[in-house]
Amino acid sequence: MPVFGAADFDHHENVVFGCDEATGLKCIIAIHNTKRGPALGGSRFWNYENEQDAITDVLRLSKGMTYKAAVAGLDLGGGKSVIIGDAKKIKTPDLMRAFGRVIESLNGKYITAEDVGTTVEDMDHIREVTRHVRGKSTGSGNPSPLTALGTFLGIKAAVKHHLKTDELTGLRISVQGVGNVGYYLCQYLHEAGAKLIVSDINEKALKRVEEEFSAQRVSLEEIYSQEVDVYAPCALGATVNDQTIDQFNTSIIAGSANNQLAEDRHGQALLDKGILYAPDYVINAGGLINVAHETDDYDLGVVKDKIDNIYTTLLEIFQRSQKRNLPTSLIADHMAEELFKEPTTAEAAQ
């Protein structure tokens, strides 16, 4: 179970393993980079098949948060945490407090927030033992609607650039995953006149978007091959991979999921196929922007103004990609690295 030798280890500053026998807590916190500030990233509660999968996930997610914070212009670094287990069976207030004590031991280097499998209520329990938490019920609350807003604006930017229109009316958009963020994204898209095709493992969530937004459901396997204008992955990552790329029948991939490319080379594969890709950590930064501005004088108007920048940032990435004939994922990486990587001695001397 390597960490330093793992394919996704990228000079992470800290990888911390936490355990509490009394509550059953098993967690991993990965801090990728803190050159711009403390690492902020959510806590994912997931029933991983094995511990290596958990390590891979937390390494990839934490690195993505560094890039996300940098491109969003936030004075924050990148980190992430995972809690291993079935949240429906083992999650308790005591377990979340035990997790909070692990966070507290890092002395503010890592700040947590909601993610898959955790809630605002969980953040309140964590807050009982550490102040290094955002997204509390007394703060900005659930970040999902604002993550969805940024994703919606990102889809509009992609449509503007690739399809040369400002309108979503009549466009066919497939949304994979209609949970917290996916639901709100469907709402925005429906109000904008898009026709929705959806898939999810949760029957209740599917029925909700069917009834409220006239969405058409398809199976988990069929979602990739739908003839659509936009494919919006809003569930777990790595849905752009060797198996799915040949199935895609879309012009644009733009969704809220993290780590959508299974491997970096898949960005080039999408470019070769003529599919415009909205880099995940750019388009889904709305939730991070929201919790980053969670202060005593929290101002939703200021937050939404910052989220509006996702549209213009993506247009810049698309234009640079087109001009240089490079994958949008690589262009976004370069933009982020300029902001958080320290120059070498040789570079600084030039």
Residues shown for the chain? 350
- Say whether 303 counts as a known binding-site residue: no
- Say whether 78 counts as a known binding-site residue: no
Pairing relationship of beta strands 43-46 and 77-84 according to DSSP bridges = parallel
Specify whether the backbone of 170 is left (phi greater than 0), alpha (psi in -120 to 50) or beta. Answer: left
Contact by Cβ (8 Å): 258, 284: yes
* Catalytic residue flag (residue 88): no
Contact by Cβ (8 Å): 41, 113: yes
- Say whether 3 counts as a known binding-site residue: no
- Say whether 282 counts as a known binding-site residue: no
Tokens of 10: 């990228």
> Among 230, 234, 169, 228, which residue's Cα sits nearest to residue 205?
234
- Say whether 255 counts as a known binding-site residue: no
Angle between helix 144-163 and helix 180-191 axes, rounded to 10 deg: 50
Rounded Cα–Cα distance for residues 166 and 338 (Å): 31
Q: List Cβ neighbours of 243 (8 Å cut-off, separation of 6 or more).
A: none
Angle between helix 328-340 and helix 300-324 axes, rounded to 10 deg: 120
Options 26, 63, 68, 80, the catalytic residue: 80
Rounded Cα–Cα distance for residues 65 and 79 (Å): 6
- Say whether 18 counts as a known binding-site residue: no
Annotated binding-site residues read: 177-182
Annotated binding-site residues for NAD(+) read: 177-182
Residues belonging to the active site? 80
